[in-house]
Amino acid sequence: MGYRETLDTPCLVVHQEILEENVAKMADYARSRGISVRPHQKTHKTAEIARMQREAGAIGATCAKLGEAEALINTGVFDDVLIAYQVVGAQKIERLLSLMDKAHMIVAVDGTDVAQALSDACIDAGKTLDVVIEVNTGLNRAGLTPGEEVLELALALSDMSGIRLRGIMTHEGHVAKAANAAELDEIAQKAGKDLVATAELLRANGFQIEIVSAGSTPAAFSTTAIDGITEMRPGTYVFNDNNAFRFGRIGPDRCALRILTTVISRPAPDRAVIDAGSKTLAMDPSASKPGHGYVVEYPNATIVRLSEEHGVIELPEEAQGLKVGDRLEIIPNHVCPTVNLQDEMFVVRNGEVQADWEIIARGKVR
């Protein structure tokens, strides 16, 4: 029997051939541009995919939270990790110092207070921490305005002997606002130019800036079109998702991860209820398509509503033969939070389950 019959639902199914293709394509592109890949681990959170990324040439890993880094460093796959996040508070600084014994750590900073606390702790511990300054190229989340603001922090960091400035980074996630592929390219290239110009400003002021790091899967091929970007940190590209379709560059055939689900109720001819709700698909919206995911077998079906354990699908004419017990595969709107909801993913090749990969960094929010 194939995986659609043997697996219990709802569960995560990873199509291994697609995953391999996605990892290889990004690695090939980066090589062709002479850019390092430091993939974000938040998308897959597994040792096995981390290993695939390293074997494809990744120079290190990116994590948001220390807990994610702890889980991944323990696997021994990566020993060079960028925490693309502000490390704030005594408990976290303690954990960071421990990680520095096991791996080369780089940490993002965007203010003097946080940097000073890191520096002081490192001096006490007799260590030196590499940092990159986080630059806000338009997402308006954390980070400093490109140019003078970054230079000011760089100058302040010069007085902190526990840390060493290695470069700058941005997350150009605001490309999600683009209406189409051309606009995406424009926004991403603007971010790339602002980042590179800031690196040049720092260099003109005597700083040695080795790392100029951008990161976002949708913008991966756009931001890096700007000369001077040294590193990219894509995450979602290993799986892709329903959100990735909207720019027309990626289709369902490039989506490696799907939710296998079972129809559990057929209360009306045009309504099916599946066993995947928000606890499985997550509530993230999609800019590609209304509803809570892409039904692979019936692209015109709409997942109109999720409660925690129920998904309600509005069925088009061609799907009305669906029966209770039938199975469907759904591409989630945003794959990263979907993975975070499960303990394992089932890996499929040639229609058979090959392996069961543990999501070791699931739920590591601290």
Q: What are phi and psi of 79, to 5 degrees?
A: -125, 25
Per-residue tokens: 338? 């979907």
Cβ–Cβ < 8 Å for 167, 200: no
Instruction: Based on the shown chain and the rule CB under 8 A, indicate whether residue 65 belongs to the binding site for its own copies.
Output: yes
By CB atoms closer than 10 A (0-12, 13-18, 19+), residue 75 is: middle
**318-342 in b/e burial notation, b at 16+ Cβ within 10 A?**
ebeebeeebbbbbbbbbbbbbbbbb
The full DSSP string for 159-201 is: T-TTEEEEEEEE--GGGGG-SSHHHHHHHHHHHHHHHHHHHHH
Q: Count CA within 13 A, CB hemisphere, residue 351.
A: 3
Instruction: Based on the shown chain and the rule CB under 8 A, indicate whether residue 32 belongs to the binding site for its own copies.
Output: no
Q: How many residues bind its own copies (CB under 8 A)?
A: 60
- Interface stretch with its own copies, choices 17-25, 133-141, 211-219, 241-249 (CB under 8 A): 133-141
Instruction: Rule CB under 8 A: choose which of 36, 46, 53, 86 binds its own copies.
Output: 86
Instruction: Based on the shown chain and the rule CB under 8 A, indicate whether residue 74 belongs to the binding site for its own copies.
Output: no
Nearest approach in angstroms of CB 199 to its own copies is: 20
Q: Which CB, 127 or 279, lies closer to its own copies?
A: 279
Nearest approach in angstroms of CB 253 to its own copies is: 26
Q: How far is 196 from 57, CA to CA, in rounded Å? A: 24
Letters for 110-129 (x = contact with its own copies by CB under 8 A, - = none) are xx-xx---------------
Q: How far is 232 from 30, CA to CA, in rounded Å? A: 8
Place of tokens 């109720």: 265
Q: Which CB, 142 or 155, lies closer to its own copies?
A: 142
Per CB under 8 A, contacts with its own copies among 198-257 are none
- Interface stretch with its own copies, choices 74-82, 195-203, 218-226, 340-348 (CB under 8 A): 340-348
Instruction: Rule CB under 8 A: choose which of 92, 246, 254, 289 binds its own copies.
Output: 92
Q: How far is 85 from 88, CA to CA, in rounded Å? A: 9
Q: Which CB, 84 or 220, lies closer to its own copies?
A: 84
Instruction: Rule CB under 8 A: choose which of 273, 295, 303, 319 binds its own copies.
Output: 273
Nearest approach in angstroms of CB 267 to its own copies is: 6
- Interface stretch with its own copies, choices 28-36, 50-58, 81-89, 155-163 (CB under 8 A): 81-89
Q: Which CB, 321 or 323, lies closer to its own copies?
A: 323
The full DSSP string for 83-120 is: E-S---SHHHHHHHHHHTTTSEEEEEE-SHHHHHHHHH
Per CB under 8 A, contacts with its own copies among 136-195 are 136, 140-144, 173
Q: How far is 4 from 18, CA to CA, in rounded Å? A: 17
| Closest-CA residue to 75 (of 359, 335, 346) | 359
Residues that bind its own copies (CB under 8 A): 8-11, 42, 64-65, 85-86, 88-89, 91-92, 110-111, 113-114, 136, 140-144, 173, 262-267, 271, 273, 275-276, 278-280, 282-285, 305, 307-310, 312, 323-325, 336-337, 340-343, 362-363, 365-366
